[in-house]
Structure 1
Amino acid sequence: MSVIGEQIKKIRTEKGITQEQLGELIGVTTQAVSRWERGGTPDAELLPRISDVLGVSTDSLFGREEQSYSLALARRLCCMSQEDAFRYALNICWAIEIGLMRDLSIVDDFMGKLIDDSVSADSKRNDYFAKIIHDSGLSLMRISPDFKHFFLMQENGSGIGSHLSDFESLRRVFALFADEKLLRILFYIYSMPNMPIATSLISKKTGLSLGETDRYMKKICENNLAVQTIVATAEGEINTYSFRKESFAVPMLCFADEIAKKDLRPFLGCYDRKGKLI
């Protein structure tokens, strides 16, 4: 089968159009459509008509639309300010979340919900989540007006177990975050993401002694959750610590917060592994 024939069949089937209906809309016979889908290639002058009828670009008939769109998106993001690029990228993530529902009837209504920060009249008081779970993968998105993030994973059929570190290594990570004093420190230094913080201030804000603070900060830095800097002052050198922005702790804490929430407000959800919608 030719690429064009393969794409015509794929798009036609997705849209629920029969070969006969497509032929009538284009102005060719059913046999012509069947011939294309079995390996033939339509005449070049028919391609614009075929793309119009199927509601796709000509590039998509050659299987190039995804590559072209991805390239155009990357170039557009490169030309934006950093703040605008992140805002635009998040809107793209929301479009992905809606698209993975595979329901054209909801697209127009739901697309504006994130972009306009108009989840609901009381959205400032609630956390909203979108969940899409299919056999092919899953995506999760938090769409609270002031706290948004996105996660997408394509599954390989064998689960995630074989790709994770050994059990003991993971247990140590969870034990690290289970330490109440360490978590208290992380909460504080993560609330000051752009400022080095002295040990004495961390001690004061968390209620820990200076000795405890030093011991915990050493452990935190050893696990790459913060960065230590020595600052010279009139009284001598002091240790300061900064939030490590490239740490995986931030997404981990975000998702841990979603697990901990008792009053989740599901805004959009789809689950098809057992053929049901939630």
Structure 2
Amino acid sequence: MDNKSVFRMNLVKRRKALGLTQEQLAALLNVSPQAVSKWENTSYPDGELLPQLARELNTSLDFLFGVKITSSERDIEQLVDDEMRATLPENRAEKLLKIMYTALCACNPNNDTVAKLRGSYEHETYAGLKTDRELALARISRDLRYFCFLEIPDNGVNSYFGDTTNMIRLFNTLADDDAISIITYLGASVRNKMFSAAMISEKLNISAEKVQYIIDRLDRFGLVWRVSADIDDKPVILYGYTHQIPLTMILVLAKTITNYIQYMDPNVEEWTQGAFRRGDGEQDEVVPQVPWWGEGEL
């Protein structure tokens, strides 16, 4: 296929992906619809229009002209940047997960084929990566997809914890059914919506004292924020949820932990030690393996 044909094909493909008619694209570029029609059939745009065309189509000139980088010094970050910018916002989650899933699968030394994220899975399915340098877990069933990645420092993840008192306080808080109910109720709110403890108590049928106890704990963790208001000449404290990403991930991963993870696709395990390290720096001895069959051994 010649360069002109590639350009025309990619121009039509990108315009339609954005849901634009020839007339709408022409209006964005301040040209006639006939000009756009010619670009898609018989001619190129003027050179000075090409950068603007790429901007309006939210893509790159490399994509439009079908340029593929084959150098061993490929700029991977730029390739991902171009790909994500060329993807509609509503399709970016799928694209992002495919990129991360492919990268995870590529860490499997026993498979040299390009991984493809399937559209559906019969069972609840995960992908896992466990090495001495990184951990990754992805849930790839379509009803709820996520990807978590952790780079393991040389001295282990436990060195990050330090004082675990607040971790214990958080887990003690989350161990209460009513706390989960309050968090999920607040988490379903729109941005900057404020609630009184009395209203939460009424909505969730939890005693006002219990609601205030839990809200105070969430406040100390920075999971809610507070403002003071005078309502009917009475001072009232209103609370807004901070929509904390880590807390959402903690709850989702807690559900994952409590499910039996049976199906992994793939499960890459190239590790000799875990993500934690001995406090004194002592290294565990490698467990000796049974030697393979000797030549001629029966």
TM-score range, shorter chain: 0.5 to 0.7
Structure 2 partner of 1:260: 258
Map 1:199-278 to 2 at 5 A.
199=196, 200-228=198-226, 240-262=238-260, 264-273=262-271
**What residue is the counterpart of 2:276 in the other structure?**
none
For this pair of structures, how many residues does the alignment match?
206
Between the two structures, name the one with larger relative contact order (CA 8 Å, sep ≥ 6).
2
Partners in 1 of 2:243 and 2:88 — Cα distance? Answer: 19
Amino acid at match of 2:149: L
Map Cα deviations across residues 21-65 of structure 1 (whole Å, 9 max, x no partner): xxxxxxxxxxxxxxxxxxxxxxxxxxxxxxxxxxx96531xxx32
For the aligned residue pairs, the C-alpha RMSD in angstroms reads 3.3
3-state DSSP class of the match of 2:264? strand
- Mapping of 1:39-118 within 5 angstroms? 58-60=70-72, 64-65=73-74, 68-78=75-85, 80-105=87-112, 107=114, 110-113=115-118, 117-118=119-120
CA–CA distance in 1 between the matches of 2:87 and 2:238?
Answer: 34
TM-score relative to the length of structure 1: 0.61
Distance 1:177 1:94, change over 3 A: same
Higher helix residue share: 1
CA contact (8 A) 2:173 2:217 kept: no
The 1:245–1:82 alpha-carbon spacing in structure 2 relative to 1, beyond 3 Å, is: farther
- Greater mean deviation of Cα atoms: 97-106 or 155-164: 97-106
Stretches of structure 2 lacking an aligned partner (at least 5 in a row): 1-67, 273-286, 290-298
Report the CA distance between 1:149 and its aligned residue: 0.9
Q: 1:145 to 1:230 in 2, by over 3 A?
A: farther
Query: Structure 1 stretch 257-266 or stretch 231-240: which is displaced more?
Result: 231-240
Asked if 2 retains the 8 angstrom alpha-carbon contact of 1:188 and 1:205, the reply is no
Q: Per-residue deviation at 1:145?
A: 0.7
Shift of 1:216: 2.0
Q: 1:168 aligns with which of 145, 161, 165?
A: 165
Of the candidates 140, 143, 147, which is equivalent to residue 143 of structure 1?
140
C-alpha distance 74-209 of structure 1, shift in aligned 2 (>3 A)? same
- Change in 2 beyond 3 A, CA 1:148/1:112: closer
In 1, Cα distance between the equivalents of 2:227 and 2:98?
37
Question: How far has the Cα of 1:185 moved from its partner?
Answer: 1.3
What TM-score comes out, normalization by structure 2 length? 0.57
Gaps of 5+ in 1: 1-55, 121-125
**SS at structure 2 position matched to 1:112:** coil
Q: 1:172 to 1:129 in 2, by over 3 A?
A: same
> Deviations for 1:113-157, whole angstroms, at most 9, x for unmatched residues?
1xxx3223xxxxx53211111223221101121211111122234
2:177 paired with 1:180: yes
The 1:79/1:163 distance shift into structure 2, 3 A limit, reads same
Call closer, same or farther: CA 1:229–1:94 in 2, change over 3 Å.
Answer: farther
Secondary structure in 1 matching 2:174: helix
